[in-house]
Amino acid sequence: MSKGADVLERNCMPAGKVFIRAGEENARAYVIQNGKVAAFTMDGDQKIEVEVFGPGAIIGEKCLILDEPAVLNFEVVEAATVIVITRQDFQKRLHKAGKSIKTVLDHAVQKLMHYESLEVSRALAQKDISDEAHQLVKGLLTDIPEEQRLPYEKNLLPHAHELMKALKEIKKDRAT
């Protein structure tokens, strides 16, 4: 390593730690070296998982470029070691890059924001389908004694979920 080289901070985080919160300022990105981190959004008091990231993934990178609060929450789901990239370090390195690199990055961030929005919408739609499937199964099993319902629920829920998904696709196709 050359004299004066920048050294990035490395953190070990336990499972269950929420280290980026939606709506809060975050001036860091994280490179996951090992472990797993889940991105989630909240629907009322219900946590909706959007995606799970593993080794090699970078999270929070949008916050290095844009001075905006985080859109998603990030929680360690399997103890993780991450490399921390601060906005200050990123800006220092970006300053050394040419204008064309900055233009490419701006374009990439716009795409990233679009894809992030699509992923959140997809996760919320999945949650709605799951809720509808659960309500359907509960309605079908109302006359069965409570102690006998669980095995039926376990067997019926996956099928009801797929049925609700198919019905939504049919409805969407008919609308177009």
Tell the residue number behind the tokens 């679009």, with chain if given. Answer: 114
Percent of the chain with pLDDT over 70: 95
Can you tell me the distance from the alpha carbon of 19 to that of 15, in angstroms, rounded to the nearest whole number?
11
Give 160: exposed, middle or buried? Use CB within 10 Å, 0-12, 13-18, 19+: buried
- Confidence grade of residue 3 (pLDDT, cut at 50, 70, 90): very low
* CATH of segment(s) 9-96: 2.60.120.10
Q: What pLDDT, in 10s, does the model give residues 40-74? A: 998 888 888 999 999 999 998 888 878 788 889 99
Can you tell me the distance from the alpha carbon of 138 to that of 131, in angstroms, rounded to the nearest whole number?
11
Above 90 in pLDDT, residue 113?
A: no
Q: What pLDDT, in 10s, does the model give residues 115-144? A: 777 887 777 777 777 777 777 777 777 788
Q: What pLDDT, in 10s, does the model give residues 144-168? A: 887 887 887 788 777 777 777 777 7
Those residues whose C-beta lies under 8 Å from the C-beta of residue 43, and which sit 6 or more positions away, are: 124, 127
Q: What is the pTM of this model?
A: 0.62
What was the pLDDT predicted at 4?
A: 46
